[in-house]
Amino acid sequence: MTEPGPTIVPGTGEVVSSGLEGMLGVPRQQVVRRLLRRPAGLAGAALTTLFVLTGVLGPALVPHDPAAVVGPSLSSPSLAYPMGTDALGRDLFSAVVVGARTSLVVAGLVGVLVLTIGMVVGTLSSWWGGWADDALMRLTELFQVLPRFFLAVVVGAIFGSTLPLLVLVLGLTSWPLLARVVRAEVLILKQREFVDAARVAGASGPRLVVREILPNALPAVSAFLGLVLAQVLLIEASLGFIGLGDPDIVSWGYLASQAQRFLRVAWWMSVFPGLAIGLTVLGLNLLSDAISDVLGSSR
């Protein structure tokens, strides 16, 4: 996050910090130290980092093609196959690692859509106020009551299960709560001293929003965005589990779905994809909670 520099009030020479330190009243390094001192936050950061690195680098490092038959069917975990093999003799470890990229792509693209729409709607609503605020909040409530999972099921059943369509549906239905968070943050931040100082210094409305307010709203927004992405990953995995994921792409939900018939004889086929989903969602939740707690204690 790029923090704007301090603002000098004309005629007084008073310097008012407009960065994260000005918002929280503590140095940025102290905020980072508070986050690092929280075991849950460290665990969440580690799990989230592991998920991202696996999605980015994993597919290039896997020992086998996840679609290739490389060993005996339903082989239990061993040194040769750390997570065992499936009913066709395909390496489950390679499939789980490659499936991380699918979840990362879905989470990343949905995150971009949610962040863009939520930031724009929330900022305009709180900055303009009046009838614009009422109209945008009613629009937010309209999208908020849409059942995301059911809508994704219907759209997938009608138009086919493709990754771009899934991203579009989840992105267009997951932004309302983030917009409300942004609106609340902007309402608070636009009353801060550094915003008043920048306004007195001659900063225009768009400059105040872009340079002074939005950078300071990002910490709280990022904490909430992690919770949204955790929900998105669960929905994506659930759709794959019931057979409404993209059939041409390996995903954790699809792997868990394929394991249903072999629960009694091949526990590893369901445990390892389920464990990947659970740890990733847990990591995002822990990291988001830690960021929220640190910001709350610093205000």
Question: Which candidate, 295, 296, 287, places its Cα nearest to that of 46?
Answer: 287
Question: Which candidate, 107, 135, 111, 110, places its Cα nearest to that of 121?
Answer: 135
Q: Which fold has domain 25-61+80-298?
A: MetI-like fold (1.10.3720)
Strand-pair partners of 69: 90
Alpha carbons 148 and 273: distance in angstroms, whole number: 23
Per-residue pLDDT of the chain (299 residues; tens, 9 = 90+): 344 444 444 444 443 444 444 444 455 566 667 777 788 888 998 999 999 999 999 888 888 888 899 989 999 999 989 999 999 999 999 999 999 999 999 999 999 999 999 999 999 988 888 898 899 999 999 998 888 888 888 888 888 778 888 899 999 999 998 999 899 888 888 878 877 787 788 777 677 788 778 887 877 788 888 889 999 999 999 988 988 888 788 899 999 998 988 988 899 999 999 999 999 999 999 988 888 777 765 55
Strands in 28-167 per DSSP E: none
Residue 106 tokens read as 């879905």
Q: Residue ranges of the domains in the chain?
A: 25-61+80-298
* Strand 7-8 with 15-16, pairing: antiparallel
